[in-house]
Structure 1
Amino acid sequence: MTESKHGSGLSRAQMKDIPGYPGYLASDDGLIYSLRSDSVRRLSMRLHNGYWHVNVNTGAGNDTKVKKQVHQLVLLAFTGPKPSEAHITRHLDGNPLNNCKTNLAWGTPKENTSDSMQHGTAACLRRGQRAVATKLKPEIILSIEREAKSGKTLVEIAKRYGITHTHVRRIRDHLCHPDIWSKGEGG
């Protein structure tokens, strides 16, 4: 483990080599550095599917470049490899962008689900427009309701909007999207 004391914008973070990724270091504050040139260089991170990623080489040459999630590299450096293939990364505070060593742990999917229920980030807790599968904007839902009440067939409306006729019926009868109906919208 090294402690960075460089004046090139690096923090006084603890840094460790990342096993399997020669020439790369992970810091305890969740950043990834390259030692592959004459100096220590912080890698730029990109957001993909809600998680920070970096491009790293797994061997010699550019043809071994892979995109890796930062949280997995930090855990690998500070706690070692996953205990089993079933284990995944847990963000203990529920923030997938917080890759500090103290916020990460290997865990089972069951533990991760339990965590997400505790911090309120579980997909099953989201309703209405915050729900994972929501693809209809409120104004579209109101249009569907109006069309369904105007006498058009449920199947005709469903085909037009790319949803099922059951979903159209549930919109017409206010059995879904409670956030819209609770605002007094719709008829």
Structure 2
Amino acid sequence: MDYNEIFDVESKKLLGLFNALRYTDNSKSLDTLSKELGINSKTIIRAIKKLKKLFKRYQLEQQLAIGCRDRNQFYLKRQDDQYLEFFLVQYLNDLPEIIFLKTIIEEKNVTTKQLIGSMLVSESSLRRRAKKINGWLKKFNLHLKRGTWELIGEEEQIRALVFHFIGLLTKKRNHNLCYVQ
């Protein structure tokens, strides 16, 4: 399941930049990154600053950093690839769309107010995201019941979604255990 489809534009850009830097052994120029990602240079610079803040927020600034060689040649410094995965799982699990899915899978009778509180978004933002998620769920023959946020569909399809999603959450816990050591 590709969760990337449900993310907002900013999250997609940030993930795109992270992956572009992650999967290269050399540095990449600002122009190259701009062409690869279809994002202008100023947006890339802002995304680099945001990535640096996230590394700090997740207490990974000693293990992950974005470096600059020469002028406008960026690369991702890392101690170990494990920290790349840890960052990615942490970041994804903090996104409102993932929080939304987690909440509707784990809890019964979720109210709009509860979702707004857990996602830290406005009601209009919640509804916009829910509409996008509902469109994505339809690919799997699932949908959200209006007013109750209940997941509706064939039991097998719901179980497949839950199984995949629980795998994502379990991966996060395993990374946390490895990180603490």
Which category of TM-score, normalised to the shorter sequence, fits these structures? under 0.3
Select the structure that is richer in strand: 1
Tell which has more relative contact order, 1 or 2 (C-alpha 8 A, sep 6+). 2
Between structure 1 and structure 2, the one with the greater Rg is: 1
